[in-house]
């Protein structure tokens, strides 16, 4: 089945992984996960850096939004960068030794949506770390077409972030932000990335709301790094726990509200703020996922405002990947400040707890970092 292999697995047949026990809160660290098999069009990747996504926190918490989807014992995680160790017989685009990041949606290529140019909405999609084994493990098998060569300028960690950055990018690029007032609700990693894109895209004013003081400070840094002050923009980062947060947004926008809201949190209070301060004829772009069904003031916040609602799922395949790489390679968007914590895989729980408390942005887990660094492919900066 395999045309070539290097160092492979050092003879080990059981490896480290984080798996989801169905119905229980948390994840389980195991040391006896099997090394995945690869098919003729797959590649086996040794994971060098993997980052925790907001979706992983929903999975960790066994929230209803993903509870039934994740099979018992599923290896989770879907943001990573690693080195290809084996390739299937029919793989021609990826070679052993390549450093790759990965698109997490494995699509069928033949359904209605795939054939209509929106394969990220594939009806038969299998999500890495949701429906098929994920990357919080020493090894992962993925279709070669999902492997994306790491641009040499990017660190392993930032390459792992291309996948989530693609979500933020699709959210922020959904509407032309040039000259617009933009509110970003929720400044977790996705919101922080969206702030940077909004600034880079020439928004007139960028406002962010966030409950965590830690993340508000990081948001200020991201705005400064992306030229907010130099451009004379009167950007603002607001404390979402303040009862007058909506009034503060109105005061900052001549009482009109904002042209565009990028809703990144999925939190009902943030969604209510978003609907309140959205200008008539505005655009509400939503990426964040509430943990379950929520109440929305449909009439006053959406219909009667004549607004446009955009739901964002995944990334465009592969337009968003190329745009993301160009923005990162050129330095127009810089994600290094978001790397707040680096932990070996077995200390995953610390990472999840930091994220749940809002005291981290991107937490990077290293299943095999020591070996990766020994081979000189790592870049811990």
**Which residues here bind Zn ion, judged by CB under 5 A?**
53, 55, 107-108, 111, 114, 122, 124
Find the shortest distance in angstroms from Cβ 113 to Zn ion: 6
From CA 66, how far away is CA 54, in angstroms rounded? 12
Find the shortest distance in angstroms from Cβ 136 to Zn ion: 12
Give 188 or 257: the residue with its C-beta nearer to Zn ion.
Answer: 188
Region of 186 please: left (phi>0), alpha (psi -120 to 50) or beta.
left
From CA 3, how far away is CA 48, in angstroms rounded? 22
Backbone angles phi, psi at 220, to 5 degrees: -60, -45
Compute the 3-state secondary structure of the chain and give helix, strand, coil in percent, each to the nearest 5. Answer: 30, 25, 40
Give 55 or 209: the residue with its C-beta nearer to Zn ion.
Answer: 55
Give 108 or 272: the residue with its C-beta nearer to Zn ion.
Answer: 108
Find the shortest distance in angstroms from Cβ 174 to Zn ion: 17
Give 267 or 301: the residue with its C-beta nearer to Zn ion.
Answer: 267
Give 220 or 323: the residue with its C-beta nearer to Zn ion.
Answer: 323
Question: Is the C-alpha dihedral spanning 223, 227, 230, 235 positive or negative?
Answer: negative
Burial of 309 (0-12, 13-18, 19+ CB in 10 A): middle
Give 203 or 325: the residue with its C-beta nearer to Zn ion.
Answer: 325
Tokens (6 digits) for 66: 């993903």
Give 108 or 332: the residue with its C-beta nearer to Zn ion.
Answer: 108
> How many of the other CB atoms lie within 10 Å of CB of 320?
22
Give 215 or 283: the residue with its C-beta nearer to Zn ion.
Answer: 215
Cβ(207)–Cβ(252) below 8 Å = yes
Find the shortest distance in angstroms from Cβ 217 to Zn ion: 24
Give 108 or 289: the residue with its C-beta nearer to Zn ion.
Answer: 108
> How many of the other CB atoms lie within 10 Å of CB of 106?
19
Give 65 or 111: the residue with its C-beta nearer to Zn ion.
Answer: 111
From CA 348, how far away is CA 27, in angstroms rounded? 9
Helices (H), 201-240: 213-225
Find the shortest distance in angstroms from Cβ 291 to Zn ion: 15
Pairing of strands 278-286, 308-311: parallel
3-state secondary structure of 64: helix
Find the shortest distance in angstroms from Cβ 107 to Zn ion: 5
Find the shortest distance in angstroms from Cβ 119 to Zn ion: 6
Find the shortest distance in angstroms from Cβ 229 to Zn ion: 31
Find the shortest distance in angstroms from Cβ 234 to Zn ion: 32
DSSP label of 132: B
DSSP states of 311-366: E--S--TTHHHHHHHHHHHHTSS--GGGEEEEEEGGGHHHHHHHHHTT--SEEEEE
Tokens (6 digits) for 241: 């726990």
- DSSP H or E segment with residue 99: strand 99-102
Find the shortest distance in angstroms from Cβ 127 to Zn ion: 9
């Amino acid at each position: 089945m395999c045309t070539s292999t290097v160092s492979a697995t050092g003879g080990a047949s059981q490896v480290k992984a984080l798996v989801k026990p169905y119905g229980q809160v948390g994840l389980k660290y195991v040391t006896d996960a099997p090394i995945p098999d690869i098919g003729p069009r797959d590649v086996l990747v040794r994971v060098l850096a993997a980052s925790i996504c907001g979706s992983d926190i929903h999975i960790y918490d066994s929230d209803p939004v993903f509870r039934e989807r994740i099979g018992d014992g599923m290896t989770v995680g879907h943001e990573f960068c690693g080195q290809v160790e084996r390739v299937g017989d029919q793989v021609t685009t990826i070679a052993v030794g390549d450093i790759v990041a990965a698109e997490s949606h494995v699509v069928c290529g033949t359904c209605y949506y795939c054939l209509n140019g929106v394969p990220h909405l594939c009806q038969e999609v299998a999500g890495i770390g949701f429906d098929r084994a994920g990357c919080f493990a020493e090894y992962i098998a993925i279709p070669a077409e999902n492997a994306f060569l790491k641009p040499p300028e990017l660190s392993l960690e930032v390459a792992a972030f291309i996948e989530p950055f693609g979500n933020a990018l699709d959210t922020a690029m959904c509407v032309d932000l040039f000259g617009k007032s933009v509110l970003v609700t929720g400044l977790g990693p996705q919101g922080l990335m969206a702030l940077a894109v909004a600034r880079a895209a020439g928004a007139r004013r960028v406002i962010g709301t966030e409950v965590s003081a830690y993340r508000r400070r990081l948001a200020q840094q991201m705005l400064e790094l992306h030229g907010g002050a130099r451009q004379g923009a009167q950007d603002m980062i607001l404390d979402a726990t303040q009862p007058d947060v909506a009034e503060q947004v109105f005061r900052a926008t001549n009482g009109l509200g904002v042209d565009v809201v990028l809703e990144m949190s999925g939190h009902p209070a943030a969604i209510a703020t978003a609907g309140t301060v959205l200008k008539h004829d505005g655009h509400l772009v939503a990426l964040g996922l509430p943990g379950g069904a929520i109440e929305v003031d449909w009439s006053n916040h959406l219909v009667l405002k004549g607004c446009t609602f955009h739901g964002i799922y995944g990334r465009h395949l592969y337009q968003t990947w190329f745009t993301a790489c160009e923005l990162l390679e050129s330095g127009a968007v810089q994600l290094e400040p978001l790397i707040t914590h680096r932990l070996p895989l077995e200390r995953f729980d610390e990472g999840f707890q930091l994220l749940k408390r809002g005291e981290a942005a991107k937490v990077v887990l290293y299943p095999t970092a020591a070996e990766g660094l020994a081979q000189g492919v790592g870049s811990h900066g």
